[in-house]
Structure 1
Amino acid sequence: MGNQPLTIAVATDQSYYESGATITGRVYLSVKDPKGIDAKSLNLLIEGEERTKIHRTSGTGENRRNHYHRSNCAILKLDTPLANFGNGYIKPGQYEFPFISTLPSNIPPTMRENDFESHCEVRYSIGAHLVQPGGAGGLFSSITKSWLRASPKELNIIGKPQPAGVIAGGIKLPPETESINYCCCFNRGTMTLESELERAILSPGDAANVFLRCRNDSTTPAFGVQAHLRETVTWRAYGHQETKSRLIGQQFLSADSCPELSPLMRLPQKYFGDASYNPLGDALNRSQRRNLSFFVSRDARDTHQGSLITIDHVLTVTIKTKCCMTNPESSIQVSIQRPPSLTDSAATTAATVEAPVFPSAPPFQSEETNDIPMAEATVLPPDWSALTADLVTIPMAEPTWGATAPPPGAVGSNPYDGATAPLPSLAQPIATKVPY
């Protein structure tokens, strides 16, 4: 660390945590200055936020200009002392401060998405800093003396798992009959589609079962029935919006396996001029119930409705016809959520537990930060011989906007509102006084 008078580092017992999990860790402090360091307290910082950035351009050629719109919204903020130094002074030496805390159970998981120069992310960090008389700071704000804080350590959060033993009910869409038109004008009859999703809540890696009945009462041949699950990420910043979507599961059932999709030779005479005519009757109920099964991608994100970021999942079932013809379809909005916790004995069946797959994208880097990069101490020096303080249990505040009002870029109401416990402050006696 060069000539810096002290070193601070934070270590946790795991690299990722479920929402509602317990975090155990230590803050390491090495004071190298023979004169010691003036400090009131050593604070632990845990923060989480939504961050968005949207890139737009204006003009052409030499007049082309880039415009960047940024917003952020706090999800979680905790700044609380691990140790209070009664004499406002820390002697030279090596110290360890163990801590334990519990994450809120309803915070969204870590995620990142980018679309060229536009980005969005939900991120969490844990760090520590010394508070000197008249000084304060945070992980996402600039601190004048960077050596007074530890380099923030990223916390990877996975979503709250489904309760073990609880099976979500399905979603059934009633039959819909749609006119089949050629080039939007020339009617060729009707097709009817009824679909049902076995479970309304799916998990990454799950098998999704879609049951359907269909009927072709038109002269148009159908190629088959397709089911696809699409994930759409939408983020906002100061009135601008960016959207990116991808398929996370799909399956196709050929018409060769569905005789009920065979076209009519010609339309019945009664069909013409009678809009209320329904040649199906109860034919759809008598048709065979088909099953489309596919696997949800293992890197599917959890469904999320935030202030700046929204992640939606929609299942669409479509009868595929030839070019320029109507494709009847029905859509179902579903929820993606982690499977039951593998730490639950009722849900544990595997001998080994795989680490979760996190969506990959470059981490969000703000061009406006003035923070000085700091090396994070991952290995203790050979001569490490520290004084260890008592374990501090930190009460975790509920998800909140943080200490300030929502930023101008935030849209809609606060989905994390409802916190009754105030944020811990330096005035609260959370940590005992340490006589260093």
Structure 2
Amino acid sequence: QVNMCCCIPQGQLTLAASIDDTCMGRGEALDIAVAVNNESSSIPERMYADVREYVSWHAGGHSNHQSRTIAYAEYNPADVEGLGRKSKHELRAIKENPGSRMEMLALMHRSLQNREARQPLRCNPTARDTYQGRVLSVRHVMAVRVKTPYCVTDPELALPIRIAGRLPEVIVQGTVIVQGTEIVDAAPKKLPQPVEAMPIAMPIGPQALRTQQVLNAKPADWEATVVVAAPVTLPMAEASMGGIVAQAQQFCEEEVQLAPQAEEAQGQPGTFLALMELMDRTYDDLSMLRKLCTFERDTWGPLLTHLGPTEYAKVVHKIGLALDRPRAAEFLAKQLEGGLTVRHITQCLLNESVSGESQNAQLVCRLAPLCNDLATRPEARAELEYCLTEWERILTASTLDA
């Protein structure tokens, strides 16, 4: 919604963007494609995309926050179709046709797929890695903004991304490995052997050697001075610390009563409460879930294979990195012995809708092919689309039609 002076309506502007990858490497450039439909009376001045880095820490009652721009790219307004202001006749025709908005969204989606308006966005080589901890957090947000005249709202579209180091190119025995992808039939190249400077021990002088021998020498009567005490037998009825057994039970009665409560609050391994506490302490929740299902399946398997819709949605929404939620949801769906249902998906969509980083379209695209009752119940698709916005329905239409 575009407003003047925060309260005077000026129409609306629909903005969409697509990026090659949600993970950027330092010094790497990614193309950002945009699509715009301006149904407002304002004339946009310029359009640009940037990536901002937010660093914050909280410890000991103190905190600090810093931010900076680590990537920037500007678009030519003439190259972006739909950015210019429409005439009053065109705006009136759009309002009178109820189906025109869905047609407009479909055109924007097609423009994104064809990548008609795009610009490279290069990351600063000094950017920090994305990190989320209890004390320190580093997050990155890619935003596309349309600059409008003074006192008019600037439309903005934000997407969380991740900054991480990329693997360098290595050529070994005719195989090129570029960022984890192997390409065979490359020209073999002999890698130089790394030269390591090993520390050299300083030789011991005669005086130091004599001093060390004196310190290590044992007395002549060393074996005779060893004293071995006779064994002492203590009756088990008297083996109590802190006094008589009755008194110890009396003093520890309160602690014994509180022990089960503390153990219950902490959560036993393999329970849903323990899983929530474990995800609170973990940065990469997706890798942690894979580890539990692979190496600790005897403990966590009974829980993760029988998650109900509510518990399943809570685990997915608990994933700290929003971009990992669709992949984590797909991984957990494959672990369910009873299979994935529409209720599992709709509960995830409802939880994502209340957050500021919705991944509903990606969730449906990954989970719909795994759903058991999507094709058997006629009303199943309507239940899914009820939780989606108009734009998300456009993005998921091809998946639901398959």
Higher strand share: 1
TM-score (norm 1): 0.38
Higher relative contact order (CA 8 A, sep 6+): 1
TM-score (norm 2): 0.41
Q: Which has the larger radius of gyration?
A: 2
Higher helix share: 2
